[in-house]
Amino acid sequence: MSDWTDIIQAATTHDPLSGAVNTPIQLSSTFNQPDFDNFGHFDYARSGNPTRESGEQAVAKLEHGQHGYLFSTGMAAISSVLFTLSAGDHIVVSKHVYGGTFRILSDVLPRWGITHDLVDFSNPDAIQAAIKPETKALYIETPSNPVLKITDIRAVVALAKANHLITIADNTFMSPFLQKPLDLGVDIVVHSATKFLSGHSDILAGVAVTNNANLAEKIYFMQNAVGATLGVFDTWLLLRGIKTLGVRMTQSSQSAQKIANYLSTHDKVERVLYPGLASHPGHDIHASQSKSGGAVLSFDVGSEDKAKAVVEALKIPIFSVSLGAVETIISYPPKMSHAELNADELHDTGITPGLLRFSVGLEDADDLIADLTQALALI
């Protein structure tokens, strides 16, 4: 069935008791056991709750996975997946990963003997060179946050298989509506469902999905052991948000493409980073693995002072750290999402002082272009 139908079917549960089309919110931390010796499917809500289970089945279906897990935040999902590694293990990671992922890898996991190397994932030879005997996984984020760097998912999967490694992909920027890493051979997909999946800047949530029963068992163990699970109200809001994922992604991507085209001809803009532009490095690879360029672009106005002036002059977007919502969000990565990186690391990952990230919402694209025009005229 098409993704459009899958989205509605995945997020709509026909409650067998009442016929309600929306998933009941089961506010119960514990469940009565009918038998002294044999316990039911649910016993304690950290281990499983009917509302969360509906949400987990929904995200698994959207990613074409068998096993889905919901966490309290994207970082909880990513950390719980990484916690399935053991002391002595090594992981090769795209050097363009989200700042929070970088922080867990740099400041937490090494204390437990799990090490990593950061590599430019657009270069398969560099990935191969970083693989050591103790390497267990390759970690992809494509397009990456905020420089929209593209990784060839199929090429990394081939490399992983040749070296008996697993692959983990952060699919936050595309959402399963635009890109399905599991179909391309990735082992585990993770998300900040705070972003496009929920889509309304109202909840924090995280997702992990896999088709591998062995990995699923490890992730479930860690979800239950660490306990950073998604609450039932937030699961309900996530399911509600997912129902409109297709229309939101389609509309916002079309607007993002129009805005990227406009900015790429603007003389005050030094560069536009958007995988939907034919000039973007990795455009062809991205087109081969995704339905569109997505709803996020970044552009460079040349300096921090100019970036500040543009942000202060814009009237429509909100200025904040998140992305993937119905309202357009502009952010300044060096001081926001990537504040963990020092000056050298920012430079090395292409996060220049004039870089602004623009997550396109559902406003009229022409209104956003008019707003950008008046703001850019001031610098």
Ligand X SMILES: Cc1ncc(COP(=O)(O)O)c(C=O)c1O
**Which CB, 167 or 192, lies closer to ligand X?**
192
Which one of the spans 31-39, 68-76, 107-115, 288-296 is the region binding ligand X (CB under 6 A)?
Answer: 68-76
DSSP character at residue 347: H
3-state secondary structure of 60: helix
Least distance in Å: CB of 148 to ligand X?
11
- Choosing from 52, 89, 95, 98, which is the catalytic residue? 98
Least distance in Å: CB of 78 to ligand X?
6
**Which CB, 74 or 276, lies closer to ligand X?**
74
Q: Residues 336 to 355: which contact ligand X by CB under 6 A?
A: 337
| DSSP-assigned letters across all residues of 149-188 | ----HHHHHHHHHHTT-EEEEE-TTTHHHH--GGGGT-SE
Chain centroid to CA 358: 16
Q: Which of 55, 65, 68, 100 binds ligand X (CB under 6 A)?
A: 100
364 in active site:
no
Q: Is 275 in the site for ligand X (CB under 6 A)?
A: no
DSSP character at residue 230: P
Q: Is 75 in the site for ligand X (CB under 6 A)?
A: yes
- Choosing from 6, 46, 258, 268, which is the catalytic residue? 46
Least distance in Å: CB of 337 to ligand X?
6
3-state secondary structure of 124: helix
Which one of the spans 12-20, 67-75, 155-163, 207-215 is the region binding ligand X (CB under 6 A)?
Answer: 67-75
Which one of the spans 53-61, 73-81, 84-92, 231-239 is the region binding ligand X (CB under 6 A)?
Answer: 73-81
Closest CA to 355 of 374, 337, 367: 337
Whole-angstrom distance, CA of residue 159 vs CA of residue 128: 7
Q: Total residues at the site for ligand X (CB under 6 A)?
A: 14
Q: Is 333 in the site for ligand X (CB under 6 A)?
A: no
98 in active site:
yes
End-to-end CA distance of the chain: 49
Q: Is 172 in the site for ligand X (CB under 6 A)?
A: yes
107 in active site:
no
Which one of the spans 72-80, 150-158, 243-251, 359-367 is the region binding ligand X (CB under 6 A)?
Answer: 72-80
Least distance in Å: CB of 252 to ligand X?
15
The residue of the chain with the least Cβ separation from ligand X equals 74
Is the CB of residue 179 less than 8 Å from the CB of residue 296? no
Q: Helix %, strand %, coil % for the chain, to 5?
A: 40, 15, 45
332 in active site:
no
**Which CB, 178 or 375, lies closer to ligand X?**
178
Is the CB of residue 170 less than 8 Å from the CB of residue 98? yes
Q: Is 204 in the site for ligand X (CB under 6 A)?
A: yes
Residues 6+ apart with CB under 8 A from 78: 100, 101, 104, 170, 190, 206
Report how far apart, in Å, the C-alpha atoms of 355 and of each of 11, 326, 349, 358 are. 36, 22, 12, 10
Q: Is 194 in the site for ligand X (CB under 6 A)?
A: yes
Closest CA to 130 of 140, 122, 143, 120: 120
Reply yes or no: is the peptide bond before residue 50 cis, omega within 30 of 0. no
Q: Which of 122, 179, 192, 328 binds ligand X (CB under 6 A)?
A: 192
Whole-angstrom distance, CA of residue 105 vs CA of residue 97: 10
Least distance in Å: CB of 194 to ligand X?
4
Whole-angstrom distance, CA of residue 213 vs CA of residue 209: 11
Whole-angstrom distance, CA of residue 183 vs CA of residue 169: 12
Which one of the spans 71-79, 252-260, 266-274, 369-377 is the region binding ligand X (CB under 6 A)?
Answer: 71-79
Q: Is 145 in the site for ligand X (CB under 6 A)?
A: yes
> Which residues are annotated as catalytic?
46, 98, 170, 195
Residues that bind ligand X (CB under 6 A): 73-75, 98, 100, 141, 145, 170, 172, 192, 194, 204, 206, 337
